[in-house]
Chains A and B, each alone.
Chain A
Amino acid sequence: MTIVADVGLDQERTGTSRRSFLKWSAAAGGTAALVPAVANLGMPEVRAEGATGMAEADRTVWNACLANCQSRCPLRLQVKDGIVVRVLPDSTGSDEMGDFNIRACVRGRAQRERIYSPNRIKRPMKRVGERGGGQWQEISWEEAFDTIASEMKRVKDTYGNEALWYHYGSGSTGGNITKRGTWPRLLNTYGGYLGQFGDYSTAQITAAFPYTYGEWISSNSLEDAQRSQLQVMFGNNPLETRMSGGGELAVVQKVRKDFQVRTIVIDPRYSDTAAIAGDDWVPIRPGTDAALIAGMIHVMVEEGLHDQAFLDKYCVGFDEATLPEGAPANSSYRAYLAGKGTDGIEKTPEWAAEITGVPAARIRKLAREIAAAKPAAITQGWGPQRHATGENSARAIFLLAAVTGNIGIPGGGNGAREGNTTLPVKAFPLFDGEAPPVKTQISCFNWIDAINDGPSMTATKDGVRGKEKLDVGIKLMVVNASNTLINQHNDIHVTQETLRDDSKCEFIVVIDHQWTATCDWGDIVLPSTTNFEEIDLIPGASCGDMGWAIYGDKAIEPVFESKTGYEMCTEIARRLGIEKEFTQGRTQEQWRDWLFEQTREKIPEFPTKEQLAEMGVFRKHSPTGPRVAMKDFRDDPVANPLKTPSGKIEIYSQLLHEMSQKWEFPGERSGDRLTALPEHVDSWEGALEARKSEYPLQCIAHHYKGRTHSSYANLPTMNEAHPQMLWINPVDARARGIENDDEILVRNARGTVKTVARVTPRIAPGVVSLPQGAWYRPNSKGVDEGGCVNTLMKYHPSPLAKGNPGHTALVEVEKVN
């Protein structure tokens, strides 16, 4: 038995455990058990309904955790003397499908630490000295409002509304009035701002959808998987990315427990979904899903296991016969498989094995099993698409669902991410009228180019929408509840250099309640309230077929000098002469009343404000049963065509074929390309390049349980529970002399991160994963000791979406000596 006797204060501070666990299973001896007879007192009948928490609290207030995890958990905050003293879980609902008690995950339970974090921004700040230089001066709210209003006016007058930009961010995604802090409404009321399409979660799949299905169409719900013979999850990890006990985690666990549906997880990581809800795990090299699928479909076609009738009736371009008019010969998927296409390579399982790492025999077995399971629920998470060629991976997984004929039927699915049933809770209007005043859009991700040289951006080179080219670059940024300016954007060094020159983007205002790495690059930083310091009507999120809404009550007064977004925007609107248009004469409370009215018009049984204040949560299970995607299309494709040009599922996209001839990929993006078929494309810093690179490990960046993106990543309790680390396979670790918990450097030409190694067989050889969202913390030598993955990731917009390839990068790892 080993006992660690040295109890240092340093360890206490850093949260390092001093307890020895060698004794856990190493302890020997003991005596035989003597179990005494115990009176049968019965199981205690105490359940959530009776939970009142701390007896001496003054009051208990409903609100919710609003971070961007696509769950949405109610919380009950216990308040005493104006301070939140305890956080309680939801006390309503049950353990039954459609009526779940919506238990918050680990993050939601750490709200007190977040509300009272030393990182809270106390009062408005103005930078002095160069941008990003770290010199700040406190200013009054009056000065802050005056400056922001005059900068908005100056930039609009000088460059026009398309020089204004509302930055992508998701720190308050779950809110309603509190969602965007009403800033987009302010900007739209002032004539609008350069729009954006896509988001950092789903850029590539969002762009891929229209070319296969005509529009975004989520798959069947995870609840519907109870009617499946087999669940196949490509990079789908609800047990880690949708952790709510009333969200998809609850649905997956319930389906598994009650229906034992066999589940296969295809993922470079042995995720918790694979370990707990999976029966089989197929590890795959990142970014190679389209190759695996080609290899599997090759097997299905060779053995006649595919659904030819479905392909003939509902799809375009699997066979030469269903290609659209004008398509080149041998451009069908079948020709691609046979090697009759431009690459001349037959897509045998052996070919796929070489690329994906999955042995050919395993590919054959997997293909036969997926083809034989009727019906099979094939879904994808958003990891496969968040890659350099992620658009094709997303489309390839759609294709597998089509080839197996699983689309539009109960227990099946269309290969997209699972769908949900939600309540149509009225959203706070971000603009009045049919559409925002400015129609021009760029991708959510390539704003770097719009700052550096906006007028050089075109439709065919940069994906500009609404115009052939931009007239002006981004000159003013509103960055609200967003750490995507620095921490969450690929290649922090490129971003910093882009922002440093304040003649490019001339003014940046950052609004947040925690001082993030993004705040460092603002010109003015405003302290916002947390949602616990204001009111809202909060819509539910992703939970199978249960929709819900939560009462957002104000638990405490604003901390320090923070203000609500609505108050800030009203003050600025007044200075711009648009207060009346912005507020429509309503206070925040009156807006919430309006949201209740509007919602009750759509959902007659929706509670009144007074009722929901009492209930906390309103939930409703889908009255029509689990969601089945594209059922109408399956039932009658003529009467219910898709929004594709052909009205069918486009395996071959004529639009993409035409775009592939026109779109330009100059300079270092010259290797990028668009393909009419969902083919495998070897990408920069991909699986094959790794074999000859001085940085031989593929680095992905899984979502981590202790944070939602970078939200909560600064909290000591979260870093104690889920410390930052790099997952590395024992084979790769051994080759580098690295043992579990060793300090390591992870580096490539873009940057270096210092972290610790989690040496684990739960990740494929040749692959490492640095969970995304850790706070960027460079030391004096520029080594990021916080472990932010965007120190390593590349700024290289993907070919079609111009989205973030956040799981494509090569690195090398070494032990710190």
Chain B
Amino acid sequence: MTTNATEAGANYGFHFDQTLCTGCKACQVACKDKHDLPIGVNWRRVVEYTGGSWQTSGHTFTPNVFSYYVSISCNHCENPVCTQVCPTTAMTRRPDGTVYVDDEKCVGCRYCEWACPYSAPQFNAETGHMTKCDLCYDYRETGQDPACVSACPSRALDWGPIEELRAKYGSTNDVAPLPDPRITEPHLVVTPHRDATRWDAGAGRITNPKEI
């Protein structure tokens, strides 16, 4: 008995619990395994955000340091700029609110990649087309969780209709180093780490830019 979780109007999105994520990237690799993604294409990525300073005195030292992670994929935004800039209408929203790319229409111009503040659409050099997270549409059709969600050893990911997620977890979606959520209105809610700051606070920096 399975539930088909591709209901029209559901507006599915993700919840990410920053207080639990250890940056192990099981989510990223489970996604890669399921979708056969090549090196360089990661529909889900994990950003490390770190900041702080040290005081030293003689041979002693005292830290004031913080660090936390953000696991991020496509946020299936309310206002997906990728669909707006796509010249071929390949990038569209499904009735259930998830954003997907029609491989047959995509010409690989990469405008969507340029426009998305989360770098969600990604170019697959092997196919010449854009690719992106579809919130595991096939799994949802057969009542399964998205691969990343069921992969997380720390249970830091959840998903569902965004209004339900907001009711359950709150509506925070503006922690650094995420972009200003007003740009695309992401279907994402974050339970912030104790040291999380707002997107524009500039308290730390992304330490693993080459991994994302």
- Residues of chain A whose beta carbon lies under 8 Å from any beta carbon of chain B: 3, 7, 9, 11-21, 23-36, 38-48, 50-53, 55, 86-87, 89, 95, 103-106, 108-110, 112, 239-240, 243-246, 249-250, 253, 257, 270, 272, 275-276, 281, 283, 353-354, 357-360, 362, 691, 705-706, 716-718, 720-723, 729-731, 740-741, 758-762, 764-765
Which residue in A28, A32, A43 is a CB contact (below 8 Å) of B161?
A43
Q: In this complex, what residue of A is CB-closest to B41?
A: A12
Is B29 touching A243 in the complex (CB atoms < 8 A)?
no
B20 at the interface (CB under 8 A from A): yes
Is B117 touching A24 in the complex (CB atoms < 8 A)?
yes
Residues from chain A with Cβ under 8 Å of B137 in the complex:
none
Cα(A448)–Cα(B122), bound, Å: 50
Is A761 touching B60 in the complex (CB atoms < 8 A)?
no
Cα(A30)–Cα(B200), bound, Å: 14
Is A705 touching B25 in the complex (CB atoms < 8 A)?
yes
Is B3 touching A103 in the complex (CB atoms < 8 A)?
no
Cα(A275)–Cα(B63), bound, Å: 13
Residues from chain B with Cβ under 8 Å of A764 in the complex:
61, 63
A735 CB, nearest partner CB in chain B, Å: 12
CB pairs A–B below 8 angstroms (23 shown): A11-B40, A17-B209, A24-B118, A42-B161, A45-B3, A53-B144, A55-B138, A55-B142, A95-B155, A103-B26, A106-B26, A108-B26, A110-B29, A240-B22, A272-B23, A276-B20, A276-B21, A276-B68, A720-B42, A721-B25, A721-B211, A761-B52, A761-B65
Is A27 touching B117 in the complex (CB atoms < 8 A)?
yes
Is A33 touching B181 in the complex (CB atoms < 8 A)?
yes
Cα(A336)–Cα(B32), bound, Å: 57
B5 at the interface (CB under 8 A from A): yes
Which residue in B7, B30, B113, B209 is a CB contact (below 8 Å) of A21?
B209
Which residue in A17, A38, A250 is a CB contact (below 8 Å) of B163?
A38
B85 at the interface (CB under 8 A from A): no
Chain B window 52-65, contacts with chain A (Cβ cutoff 8 Å), 1 for yes, 0 for no: 11101111111101
Chain B window 20-56, contacts with chain A (Cβ cutoff 8 Å), 1 for yes, 0 for no: 1111111011101110001110100001001111101
Is B61 touching A765 in the complex (CB atoms < 8 A)?
yes
Residues from chain A with Cβ under 8 Å of B168 in the complex:
43
Interface of chain B, helix or strand or loop or mixed? Answer: loop
Residues from chain A with Cβ under 8 Å of B92 in the complex:
none
Is B22 touching A109 in the complex (CB atoms < 8 A)?
no
Could you list 19 further interchain pairs (A-B, Cβ under 8 angstroms) beyond the known A19-B113, A25-B179, A39-B10?
A16-B40, A17-B210, A18-B40, A21-B47, A21-B119, A30-B180, A35-B185, A38-B162, A46-B145, A51-B144, A52-B144, A86-B33, A103-B152, A243-B24, A353-B60, A691-B59, A740-B207, A764-B61, A764-B63
Known contacts A51-B144, A95-B155, A722-B25; A86/B34 CB under 8 A: yes
Is A16 touching B210 in the complex (CB atoms < 8 A)?
yes
A764 CB, nearest partner CB in chain B, Å: 6
Cα(A33)–Cα(B145), bound, Å: 28
B208 CB, nearest partner CB in chain A, Å: 8
Which residue in A26, A51, A721, A765 is a CB contact (below 8 Å) of B54?
A765
B172 at the interface (CB under 8 A from A): no
Residues from chain B with Cβ under 8 Å of A23 in the complex:
117, 179
Known contacts A250-B153, A721-B25; A52/B142 CB under 8 A: yes
Is A359 touching B62 in the complex (CB atoms < 8 A)?
yes
B206 at the interface (CB under 8 A from A): yes
Which residue in B26, B61, B62, B143 is a CB contact (below 8 Å) of A46?
B143
B28 CB, nearest partner CB in chain A, Å: 6
Residues from chain B with Cβ under 8 Å of A721 in the complex:
25, 28-29, 211
Which residue in A106, A257, A718, A762 is a CB contact (below 8 Å) of B50?
A762
Residues from chain A with Cβ under 8 Å of B202 in the complex:
25
B162 CB, nearest partner CB in chain A, Å: 7
Residues from chain A with Cβ under 8 Å of B20 in the complex:
253, 257, 276
Q: Would you list which residues of chain B between 152 and 197 have a CB under 8 Å from chain A?
A: 152-155, 159-164, 168, 176-185, 193
Is A41 touching B40 in the complex (CB atoms < 8 A)?
no
Is B211 touching A270 in the complex (CB atoms < 8 A)?
no
Known contacts A103-B153, A275-B67; A32/B207 CB under 8 A: no
Residues from chain A with Cβ under 8 Å of B9 in the complex:
38-39, 41
Residues from chain B with Cβ under 8 Å of A720 in the complex:
39-40, 42, 211
Q: In this complex, what residue of A is CB-closest to B2?
A: A50
Is B150 touching A30 in the complex (CB atoms < 8 A)?
no
Residues from chain A with Cβ under 8 Å of B54 in the complex:
729-731, 761, 765
Residues from chain B with Cβ under 8 Å of A110 in the complex:
29, 33
A29 CB, nearest partner CB in chain B, Å: 7
Q: In this complex, what residue of B is CB-closest to A284?
A: B61
A679 CB, nearest partner CB in chain B, Å: 20
Which residue in B21, B114, B140, B159 is a CB contact (below 8 Å) of A3?
B114
Cα(A109)–Cα(B150), bound, Å: 12
Cα(A106)–Cα(B71), bound, Å: 13
B156 CB, nearest partner CB in chain A, Å: 9
Chain B window 87-100, contacts with chain A (Cβ cutoff 8 Å), 1 for yes, 0 for no: 00000000000000
Is B150 touching A48 in the complex (CB atoms < 8 A)?
yes
Is B50 touching A760 in the complex (CB atoms < 8 A)?
yes
Residues from chain B with Cβ under 8 Å of A706 in the complex:
25
Is B78 touching A249 in the complex (CB atoms < 8 A)?
no
Is B65 touching A89 in the complex (CB atoms < 8 A)?
no
Cα(A730)–Cα(B78), bound, Å: 40
B47 CB, nearest partner CB in chain A, Å: 7
Is B39 touching A239 in the complex (CB atoms < 8 A)?
no
Q: In this complex, what residue of B is CB-closest to A270?
A: B65
B128 CB, nearest partner CB in chain A, Å: 12
B207 CB, nearest partner CB in chain A, Å: 6
Residues from chain B with Cβ under 8 Å of A353 in the complex:
59-60
Chain B window 116-131, contacts with chain A (Cβ cutoff 8 Å), 1 for yes, 0 for no: 0111001101000000
Is A21 touching B206 in the complex (CB atoms < 8 A)?
yes
**Cβ-closest 3 pairs across A and B:** A245-B153, A30-B182, A30-B183
B75 at the interface (CB under 8 A from A): no
Known contacts A25-B179, A41-B161; A761/B34 CB under 8 A: no
Residues from chain B with Cβ under 8 Å of A244 in the complex:
153
Is A44 touching B160 in the complex (CB atoms < 8 A)?
yes
Is B211 touching A36 in the complex (CB atoms < 8 A)?
no
Residues from chain A with Cβ under 8 Å of B106 in the complex:
none
Residues from chain B with Cβ under 8 Å of A29 in the complex:
180, 182-183
Is B164 touching A47 in the complex (CB atoms < 8 A)?
no
Cα(A53)–Cα(B144), bound, Å: 8
Known contacts A17-B212, A44-B160, A105-B26; A25/B39 CB under 8 A: no
Cα(A722)–Cα(B48), bound, Å: 12
B11 at the interface (CB under 8 A from A): yes
Is B78 touching A35 in the complex (CB atoms < 8 A)?
yes
Cα(A12)–Cα(B178), bound, Å: 25
Cα(A15)–Cα(B65), bound, Å: 29
Cα(A26)–Cα(B209), bound, Å: 14
Residues from chain B with Cβ under 8 Å of A42 in the complex:
161, 164
Cα(A663)–Cα(B122), bound, Å: 63
Q: In this complex, what residue of A is CB-closest to B168?
A: A43
Known contacts A30-B180, A46-B3, A46-B5; A245/B65 CB under 8 A: no
A748 CB, nearest partner CB in chain B, Å: 22
Is B40 touching A12 in the complex (CB atoms < 8 A)?
yes
A249 CB, nearest partner CB in chain B, Å: 6
A357 CB, nearest partner CB in chain B, Å: 5
Cα(A44)–Cα(B176), bound, Å: 29
Is B114 touching A765 in the complex (CB atoms < 8 A)?
no
Interface centre among A19, A46, A705, A765 (most CB of B within 10 A): A46
Q: In this complex, what residue of A is CB-closest to B141?
A: A55
Residues from chain A with Cβ under 8 Å of B2 in the complex:
46, 50
Is A723 touching B180 in the complex (CB atoms < 8 A)?
no
Cα(A535)–Cα(B17), bound, Å: 38
Is A15 touching B40 in the complex (CB atoms < 8 A)?
yes
Is B163 touching A25 in the complex (CB atoms < 8 A)?
no
Is A25 touching B33 in the complex (CB atoms < 8 A)?
no
Q: In this complex, what residue of A is CB-closest to B155?
A: A95
Is A47 touching B145 in the complex (CB atoms < 8 A)?
yes
Q: In this complex, what residue of A is CB-closest to B199?
A: A25
